[in-house]
Structures are given as structure tokens and as C-alpha cells.
Chains A and B, each alone.
Chain A
Amino acid sequence: MTDSQHSRGVTALLLVPAGVFFFFLLILPMAVVLVFSFGDRADTGGYAPAFTFDNYLNLPARSKAFVNTLTLAPLGTLLTALFAYPMAYFLAVKVSPQWRVTMLVLVMAPFWTSQLLRYYAWIMILGAKGIPNWLSMIGITDVRLINTPWAVLIGAVYGFLPLMVPPIYVSLEKLDKRLLEASADLGATPWKSFLQVTLPLSLPGVATGSMLVFILLMGDYILPQFLGGGKVYFIGNALVDLFLQSRNWPFGAAVSVALVIIMFVTIFFYMRFVLGKSGQRRVALV
């Protein structure tokens, strides 16, 4: 065995375990989901082989889940970006360098803890014994928050702010401060400099954060389940119902194919319009 053959053998051994996982648990299943989506529901639930577009034609049956997801996910993403931007700006510009990383990590940390428990806390806060109860003490009665779209939006900002801040922070931190000096020298007010220099240059960070948040929000299940309480349900809730309760797998497969397509379209537009603008990154991605 020659040296290069030996070396190639080692490389193969290193990559095979992950390759097996990716192929059998990610790529192949996605192909199977695609096949299922053209199939029939078996009498006992599950899948029966067929080739039909019925499942896709039937998608409007879950139109409420799609409408909720496609209005509340973009709105939630937008709100998260609006609240995250000043925070990222504060961390990148106002905080002294030695504290920046620590304070950024403190923003991110909640995201890596249990999502289930963090939304559970909001059931307590928005539920009858929480904010509505406190408001009734000062005379404002009959406020209902939990199980409304508002609760889902508050939850979205709460859940995904930690994920939105870092990319915006990165784009603001690497901003060349001399550009701002130049802008000031040319007579621009700080506000004008911000609008014409800082904001446009930090938009890629906003776009990256928004894409991440939008994708995760669209596929969310616990947030609408807990804070929407079955009234404001997302595609994720429809999927759990179709796969685990009513066991209509082919229809569930069609719904998940639709979800994945929306996600890919999002990523495509992101790569095309955001990354495409900076030539260097385009080279790195293609």
C-alpha cells in the first residue's frame, strides 16, 4: 500500500461515521418524507404507497397554521431585530472592550438553556395570576394576554433576542470608526452619521440575525403551544398533530415539505441579496 493510499484510507475512516449519520438520519429521511408526501394514508394511520398530489391540494385545510406562521414569524423577527439593535449597538460601541465579551455572553446564555422552561415562565407571567392580575390591582381589568397573538410575539422577542444580538454586534464592532470621523468632519450630525454610515454598514448583521431567527421561529412548536395555547398555532403544531396524534403521515409529510421549501427560499434570498453584495463572501460560499 502506498503512502497516499494509506492516507486516503485514514481520511475515509475519519469521515465515515459522520457520513453514515448524515446520510441515514438526515438526507435519506428527507427523501423519504418527499416520497411520503405523494402517498396515501393507510387505514391504520401511517403511510400507504401511492402517487397522488392530494396531500398538496389538501394543504389549505391547514391554512390557518400557515397564515399564523407566515404573519407572526416575520412580525416576531422584525420586533426582535428592533429590540436587539440598540442592545447590540450599546455592547459594540458604548461598552469598554474588556467587558464586551462577558456582557455579550450574558445576552446569549439564556438561548442555550431550556426553551421549554423559559416559555413556561411566561405562562406564569402572562397567565391570569401574572400581569393581568397586577393590572387589575390598579383598576385595569379584563386584560387577556395568554393564548393571544401578542403573547406569541412577546415570547418570540424573549426567545430569540439572544440569537439576534450577536450578528448585529459583530457587524457593528468591526465597523471602521474612521468612517464616522470622516462623516463628522464633513459636517454630519451624529444622528445623520448613524443613518447614513452605521446603519447601512450593519444591515448584513441584521439580515443574518433575522434569517436565523425567522427560520427557527417558523419551525417552533413550544412557543405557540405554550403561549398561543392551541388558539394561535403554527405549522409546528400542525405537524405534531399530524404525525403523533391523527397519524396522517402523508399529509404531514406534505406540510413539512412546504415548511422546508419556505425555509430554503428564505436562505436563498438571504444568500442572493445579502451575501451577494459583498464579493468576497460570494467567493467563499460558492
Chain B
Amino acid sequence: MRYYAALIYFFLYAPIALIVGFSFNSGRYAMDWQGFSLAWYGKAFSNPLIVKALGTSITIAGSTAFLSAIIGTLTALGLERVTGKLRHLFDAFLYIAIMVPGIVIGISTLIAFVTLFNIVNPYLMAAWNWKIEMGVWTVVAAHVLFNIAVVCLLVRARLTGMDRSLVEASEDLYATPFGTFRQVVLPLLTPSILAGFLLAFTFSFEDFIIAFFVAGPNVTLPIYVFSSIRRGVTPEINAVGTVVLLTSLVLLAVAQAILQRSNRTLKTSKTVPQA
């Protein structure tokens, strides 16, 4: 059983190690080891196409994470205050947004944007001789759609675990509702909002399929990697891949650490009144 588990970990991590390993290959082909070298990192990050794609991806992921963190938190707070049909409706939306495969989100957002453009562009052309098109913002909008759900679920988990007596104490001490929110609720929610921000950043940064549909002429890093893989495997992709994989593993580890630490403090703060 122990060996089986070890084998599974090997199965899961060996391919990742392979990408990292061959990024240090001095040869021209992936899988054909010629010796250690950092040359491909230098080559990759002096390639203007890669640098531009990286910039685009960071812009998209940063904006997505920022917007999702805010809207997701607002939604979680709002859903605390409603019951019945409206709540079920939003629950259904949240699960659909998370469950539906990326390709369906890609198609439906593509169609939504194109339909919108067809309606408004004639007017925009007539009025200002300008029209809206696919771009970074369309990718951000599509990414925010499913990352709202990610942040919202994290924040709601935290809200349910929260000690209501803290809010009541604050109200008893004549804090305004907004005061209670700012001084009691928000600090308690911060870890899960932060973790949600990091997850949203990671998901957006790595997404290929949605961006493939709605990025228009823009090239994100995953789109660049996808098209270069189709041309053949080179250590340059491994170098870019290593940076992407390590970035996301670090961000995930940080998010996980934040969540675990905040769960511990939540538990200790709960035991205090009993002591």
C-alpha cells in the first residue's frame, strides 16, 4: 500500500520534474540531454513575444484576481442576508460557473461579446467612428465570471465558521453596522479573501481555453505556449513552463498556508470565551 502511494506520487510529480529538468538542457531538443545550461532561460526571457505574452497574462490575472476578490466577497456577504429562492438561484449560478467546463464558458462568453458588439458597434461607429473589440478586457470579464464563484465559496466558508457573538458584542457596544463590518467582520474575512485573490490569480494566469476563445488578437502566455507546442517541443517551452509551474505552486502553497493558519486562529478565538 505504501509502495502504491509512493508510485502515485511519482506518477503525479515525475512529469512536472521532467519539464523542470529539461529546461536546463543545453541541447536543442527536449528529451535529448546534452548537458546543463541556463541558456534557454536567457533565450526565453529575451524573446519579445514571450515577454509581451507574460505582460498580457500578468495584467489579465492581476485584474481578474482584484475584481473577483471584491465581487466574490460582496456576493458572499449579500448571500448571508437573503434566504429562499434568491439564495437558491445564486447557489445554482455559483455551482454552474464552477462546474461548467472551460470550453462552454469560452463559447458562451464569445457569443455574448460578439452579439453585444453587433448591437452596439453600428451606433459607436456612427457616433465616434470607433468600435469595441475583443481584447484583454474580454478575457478578464470571462475569467472574473468563474473566479467570483471561487472567492465567494471561500469567503462563505469563513462566514459560516465565524463566531456570531463577536458581531453581537460589537453591536452592543453601539458600533454602526458599517463600523462592525470594518472592525470585526472584515479583519476576520481577510485571510479567505486573500487566499481567494491568489487562487483567482493562479487560475486566470494558467487558463488557456477561455482566453483562446475571447482574447481576439491578444496572446497570453498559455496561448503562446500552446502554439509553440504545436510547432514542436523545445527546451525554451520548458524554461517558460518551469517559471509558470513554480509560480503557481508557490501561490497555491501560500494560499493554503493562509487558509490553514486562519482556521487555527478561528478555533483559538472561539475557545477563549469558554476558558
Contacts and interface: CB of A to CB of B under 8 A. Distances in A.
A232 interface: no
A75 interface: no
Interface in B86-124: 86, 90, 93, 96-97, 99-105, 107-112, 114-115
A58 interface: no
B44 interface: no
Contacts of B103: 219-221, 236, 239-240
Top 6 closest pairs, chain A to chain B, by CB: A219-B101, A14-B78, A121-B15, A29-B108, A29-B112, A15-B78
Interface stretch (B46-54, B125-133, B248-256): B248-256
A11 B83 CA distance: 11
Given A116-B225, A239-B107, A14 B209 contact: no
A162 B222 contact: no
Interface in A160-174: 161-162
B4 interface: yes
Interface stretch (A104-112, A136-144, A185-193, A197-205): A104-112
Contacts of A124: 18-19, 22, 30-31, 233
A220 B144 CA distance: 21
Nearest to A112: B252
A252 interface: yes
B4 A256 contact: no
Contacts of A105: 256
Nearest to A234: B103
Given A15-B82, A118-B16, A125-B15, A243 B213 contact: yes
A7 interface: yes
Given A18-B152, A22-B97, A109-B252, A121 B74 contact: no
B195 interface: no
Contact of B8 (A83, A215, A256): A83
Interface stretch (A59-67, A86-94, A176-184, A272-280): A86-94
Nearest to A121: B15
A87 B8 contact: yes
Interface string B25-41: 00001111000000000
B111 A121 contact: no
- The residue in B31, B70, B103 that gathers the most chain A C-beta atoms within 10 A of its C-beta is B103
DSSP majority for the B interface? helix
A18 B144 CA distance: 9
A149 interface: no
Interface stretch (B165-173, B182-190, B237-245): B237-245
10 contacts: A13-B74, A13-B78, A14-B78, A22-B145, A107-B9, A121-B19, A122-B15, A124-B31, A243-B213, A256-B107
A156 B60 CA distance: 29
A226 interface: yes
B266 interface: no
A110 B9 CA distance: 10
A158 B15 contact: yes
A114 B223 CA distance: 12
Contact of B101 (A116, A117, A120, A215): A215
A78 interface: no
Interface residues of A, number: 77
A252 B107 CA distance: 9
B75 A129 contact: no
A70 interface: no
A113 B19 CA distance: 13
A116 B206 contact: yes
A115 interface: yes
B115 A32 contact: yes
Contacts of B244: 114, 117
B16 A222 contact: no
A118 to B, nearest CB: 6
B209 A222 contact: yes
Interface in B50-85: 70-72, 74-75, 77-79, 81-82
Given A33-B107, A112-B202, A215-B99, A94 B32 contact: no
Contacts of A115: 206, 208
Nearest to B76: A14
- The residue in A24, A110, A116, A259 that gathers the most chain B C-beta atoms within 10 A of its C-beta is A116
